[in-house]
């Protein structure tokens, strides 16, 4: 069988923008979070978990994790595209990565809403 | 006055004779008229005619004598010998199949160039005289049309090394933007569709080796950025 090179998946722009948008969001969140953490009167477990008690804080922290995982997905997929040649292996790695990242997102929610 | 000598370390490979490539040392006496690296190579070839490399115009217009000079791609005809640390290590352009010595098979490079349809597409009947552009519209093509297709940029691009069959590469994308930016071209939508692909365009991670090596001082990374801008503005 002749192996023909196929391209033309017609995506890429959305992920390219998402990678940048998630990066900007993460930078802003990290700065605000660092300021909030440094302004804690004392670094105790009580004060730390108190920081996440508010609904807004939980929401934005969870959003931060979603941004992180989406950003990581695009980055890791880029690495697979560059370095993993057989399409079958790439597909398996994509599926595994998606499952792991979705799992992480669920785990992050569980931790945040337990605090 | 003592004669200038130059030490060279050349990549040699003749698939008909050699099992594998090797590096050969040369010491060469230069004449006062030998200014550029190409002058030294031509002089060297007159002494060792088994040595193979491409050259034609010898003034940076044809793009034939692109090679890897001390680890950086460039044109031998535009590179001053005197400024080069010795021994001058010469290798073929990285990432392309070697035919012999410094001569590489550029089929893949030109395949990618052809894939972006590097010609004006306009099906409206020609006006009486010519298709006019304003000076501003013409200005946009500066820094794009000057490419001589020497392949210095694409063969210095890691994304092109990994996916030369799928990623268009800096030279091809610069040419793609040359026609996207041309107000006389009518195939903008098709051209953008053709590039909206995770491999063809989005393998570029702005490493900017292309900008670093371009012997014509062009900026493929900026052109790629402008293609992305066009895609964003049609999508949002």
Q: What is the pLDDT of residues A35-64, one digit of tens each?
A: 998 988 888 888 888 888 888 999 999 999
Asked if A94 has any chain B CB less than 8 Å from its own CB, the reply is: no
Asked if A2 has any chain B CB less than 8 Å from its own CB, the reply is no
Using CA atoms, how far apart are residues A57 and A30, in angstroms rounded to an integer?
12
* Tokens read off for A33: 């979070």
User: What are the chain A neighbours of B197 within 8 Å (beta carbons)?
Assistant: 7-12
Nearest residue on chain B to A81, alpha-carbon basis:
B199
Mark out chain B residues that contact chain A at CB-CB < 8 A: 158-159, 162-163, 165-166, 193-194, 196-203, 205, 228, 231-232, 235
Which residue has tokens 């010595």? B101
Most B-contacting residue of A4, A6, A7 (CB-CB within 10 A), to test interface: A7
- Report yes or no: A48 and A39 within 8 Å, Cβ to Cβ: no
Long-range contacts of B142-147 (CB under 8 A, 24+ apart): B143/B218, B143/B219, B143/B222, B143/B223, B144/B174, B144/B175, B144/B177, B144/B178, B144/B181, B144/B218, B144/B223, B145/B178, B146/B216, B146/B218, B147/B171, B147/B174, B147/B175, B147/B178, B147/B216, B147/B218
Q: Are B205 and A10 in contact (CB < 8 Å)? A: no
Q: How far is B202 from chain A (nearest CA, A)?
A: 6
Query: Tens digit of pLDDT per residue, chain B (236 long)?
Result: 567 899 999 999 999 999 999 999 999 999 999 999 999 999 999 999 999 999 999 999 999 999 999 999 999 999 999 989 999 999 999 999 999 999 999 999 999 999 999 999 999 999 999 999 999 999 999 999 999 999 999 999 999 999 999 999 999 999 999 999 999 999 999 999 999 999 999 999 999 999 999 999 999 999 999 999 999 999 98
% of chain A with per-residue pLDDT over 90: 69
d(CA B13, CA B105): 14
Residue B219 DSSP code: -
Chain B positions touching A83 (Cβ under 8 A) are 162
For chain B, report the end-to-end CA distance as a whole number of angstroms.
69
CB atoms A15 and B203 under 8 Å: no
The distance of B169 to chain A (nearest Cα, Å) reads 14
DSSP class of residue A54?
S
Give residue B14's pLDDT: 96
Residue A32 corresponds to which tokens in the numbers above? Answer: 């605000």
Look at B228 and A9; give whichever has higher pLDDT: B228
Residue owning tokens 């995770």: B198
> For residue B98, which of B16, B5, B28, B1 has the smallest C-alpha distance?
B16
Chain A nearest CA to B193, separation (Å): 7
Distance from CA of A35 to the nearest CA of B (A): 32
Q: What is the pTM of this model?
A: 0.91
User: What integer pLDDT is reported at residue B1 of this predicted model?
Assistant: 54
- C-beta separation of B153 from B170 below 8 A: yes
Helix (H, G, I), strand (E, B) or coil at B11: strand
Instruction: Give the Å distances, CA to CA, from B123 to B115, B127, B178, B184.
Output: 19, 12, 18, 10
**CA–CA gap between residue B59 and residue B38 (Å, rounded):** 10
**What pLDDT is attached to residue A6?**
83
B110: tokens are 């030109």
**Pairing between β-strand B5-12 and β-strand B66-69 as defined by DSSP bridges:** unpaired
Residues of chain A found within 8 Å of residue B235, distances taken between Cβ atoms: 13-14
Helix (H, G, I), strand (E, B) or coil at A50: helix
Measured between beta carbons, the chain B residues lying within 8 angstroms of A80 are: none
Mean pLDDT of chain A: 92
Query: What residues 35-74 of chain A have any CB closer than 8 A to a CB of chain B?
Result: none
Residue A88 binned pLDDT confidence (cut-offs 50, 70, 90): very high
How deeply is A104 buried, as exposed, middle or buried, from its count of CB atoms within 10 A (0-12, 13-18, 19+)?
middle
> How far is it, in rounded angstroms, from Cα B66 to Cα A113?
61
Residues of A in contact with B196 (CB under 8 A): 10-13
Minimal Cα–Cα distance from B220 to chain A, Å? 18
pLDDT value at position A42? 86
């Amino acid at each position: 069988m002749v192996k023909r090179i196929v391209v033309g998946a017609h995506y890429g722009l959305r992920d390219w923008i998402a990678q940048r948008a998630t990066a900007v969001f993460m930078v802003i969140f990290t700065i605000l979070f660092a300021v909030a953490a440094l302004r804690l009167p004392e670094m105790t477990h009580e004060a730390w978990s108190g920081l996440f008690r508010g609904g807004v804080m939980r929401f934005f922290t969870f959003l931060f994790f979603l941004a992180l995982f989406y950003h990581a997905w695009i980055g890791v997929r880029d690495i697979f595209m560059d370095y993993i040649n057989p399409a079958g292996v790439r597909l398996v790695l994509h599926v595994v990565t998606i499952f792991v990242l979705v799992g992480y997102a669920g785990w992050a929610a569980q931790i945040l809403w337990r605090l | 006055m003592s004669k200038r000598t130059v030490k060279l370390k050349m990549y040699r490979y003749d698939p008909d004779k050699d099992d594998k490539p090797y590096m050969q040392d040369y010491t060469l006496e230069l004449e006062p008229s030998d200014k550029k690296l190409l002058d030294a190579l031509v002089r060297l070839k007159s002494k060792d005619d088994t040595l193979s490399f491409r050259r034609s115009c010898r003034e940076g217009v044809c793009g034939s004598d692109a090679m890897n000079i001390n680890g950086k791609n460039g044109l031998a005809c535009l590179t001053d010998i005197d400024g080069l640390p010795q021994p001058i290590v010469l290798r073929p352009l990285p990432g392309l199949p070697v035919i012999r010595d410094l001569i590489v098979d550029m089929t893949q490079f030109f395949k990618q160039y052809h894939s972006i349809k590097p010609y004006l597409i306009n099906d409206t009947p020609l006006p009486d005289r010519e298709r006019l552009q304003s000076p501003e519209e013409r200005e946009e093509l500066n820094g794009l049309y000057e490419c001589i297709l020497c392949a210095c940029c694409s063969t210095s691009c890691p994304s092109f090394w990994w996916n030369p069959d799928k990623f268009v590469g800096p030279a091809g994308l610069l040419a793609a933007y040359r026609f996207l930016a041309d107000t006389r071209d009518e195939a903008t939508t098709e051209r953008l569709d053709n590039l909206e692909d995770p491999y063809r365009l989005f393998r570029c991670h702005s490493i900017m080796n292309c900008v670093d090596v371009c012997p014509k001082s062009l900026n493929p990374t900026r052109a790629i950025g402008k293609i992305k801008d066009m895609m964003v503005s049609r999508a949002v």
